[in-house]
Structure 1
Amino acid sequence: MAEAFNAAGIPAGLIHGELSADERRNILGAYASGEIAVLVNVAVLTEGFDHPPTSCVILLRPSSCKSTMIQMVGRGLRTVDPEEHPGVVKTDCVVLDFGTSSLMHGTLEQDVDLDDRSASGSAPTKTCPDCDAEIPLGARECPLCGALLVEQKDEGGAEALEGFVMTEIDLLKRSSFQWVDLFGDEAALMATGFTAWGGIFWMDGLWYAVGGRRGAQLRLLGIGERAVCLAQADDWLNTHESDESAFKTRGWLGQAPTEKQLQYLPPSARQDYGLTRYHASALISFRFNKRAIRQLIQAAATPERRAA
């Protein structure tokens, strides 16, 4: 596979168990520096290897266990720390499965539990009539021999379900902290605690996650999709604040802004009778850090740094 990529003009390296430690270190270093774009390995980097900028994973063999498949795909699911990898913008990870693992075990998101409900028992299976392999019950094609499986018609006359409505889980509602839309345009959202705050900001087609805390410089937490940046900013708050502070600051949602807060806000804030103490706190955090936030985002968004 490495030879095929190199022949196509895409620099690639190969890692396998017979390489010396120095050879392996040199190849990994070349991948980390961008000297090579593709890293092919044979059961060596399945787990324990991390290079967050990796944005594509190609599976070329089937895996008998789903845990192995998750480990392999996980090499490309790491989020990028902008301070560690300046100029790298990663918004997703493409997984190309040529080894039928996803057909055998299902995709990764099928195991996601958003409501703290744990499943028990084994997934239902059936037997392929051609090769006798045990395969997922819903498979229409055997992932091992390729046999097409004809669906049996329901003689009981049961009707197919229709009218499904898919709803997206709102991460804002699941956060311990209250996220507020600063200016009503969904382009700047912030949440605050007693000593730290987190925010996500939209600019030129990308979201930027920024975290701040008392006595420390602002930190760019991530760049990319809204949900990813929101999770990174929320993690920042959970790291530097406590559940107790989240609970107490949520109590400010039912309180009017204090006189001291109003002194730091524009005169029009006094006429905003829907303004709460919590929203005022978020606005003040933004006003005090507005210039630093803008500089941080603009520095990360320059074409030179994106191409680095």
Structure 2
Amino acid sequence: MRRFGCVILLIGLAVAAFVGFRFVAGWKEQGPAAQDVSITVPEGATLSDAAVLLKRSGAVRSADAFLTRAKVFGGGTSIKAGEFVIPAKASNSDILSILQGGRTLTRLITIPEGMPSILVHERLMANDQLTGSIPVPQEGSVLPDSYAFDKGEPRAAVLKRMQGAMDKVLADLWAARAPDTIAKTPKEAVILASIVEKETAVAAERPTVAGVYSNRLRTNMMLQADPTIIYPITRGKPLGRRIRKSEIAAVNDYNTYAMVGLPKGPIANPGRLSILAVLHPAKTRALYFVADGKGGHIFADTYQQHNENVRKWFEIRRARGEL
């Protein structure tokens, strides 16, 4: 009888040792997920809540086992809220480190420089990981940049960050403006910057383009910026054809071929560098510019010089078969 009891004791100890070994080994061994999975831990969720989410996603074999191991080996650090990517085969230990470290999945939505607000609206509305509706934002109110967002976040919240970023950048740049800027108000700076943005894609040219337009405004010359013809027609979307003579002559609040001074509002959302160019324009006597055939522009101080530059540009276009 005594011998039987010893056998039972030894079996019990062996089972306990095996269970203990499996408990410890299970903390570091590969998990069951065959591919990366993502889980969203809501604000205020507990470790127990996260364990259930992990089980549902297939990242762990048992919610209870993960929870117990995490409490024993996890060091007591609380988990973070957010969306997390759990790599394929991640161990319990790896998963807890991810949740505690707060390495959340970064989702970005990008607004390019010069994008008009109607296209900003379309881009936000087309993103199926955002929620809710928004109106078309005021033109010039959004700062072009890449913005992080969480899955399920309201579009209104993302747009608010975009507009808050523009408010901050504009306030900072306006406070440090050069004394010779033609802009009398931050709004005027954004209006002119939106034109500069649409006229050149070459960053190094922006201060000179801003200088040309500043010179024109000082001498009461028309700005004659083609993008201002297009804006009231398409709200800033590409026209997709050549501008018609009737559109050049059209009188409205934006067409700078039919008015002296700035349009009534921006024609796009300008980036930081275009606003900076307007507030710190190049010191130039140039009043004209035309494409140089290489992606940039050539500038001229006089109308005679400009006509010669235009002639060269037409020669380039004829040689390309564009005319």
TM-score normalised by the shorter chain: which range applies?
under 0.3
Larger Rg, first or second structure (1 or 2): 2
Task: Identify, as 1 or 2, the structure richer in strand.
Answer: 1
With the length of structure 2 as denominator, give the TM-score of the two structures.
0.24
- Structure number with the higher helix fraction is 2
| TM-score, with structure 1 as normaliser | 0.25
Q: Which of the pair has the greater relative contact order for Cα pairs under 8 Å at 6+ separation?
A: 2
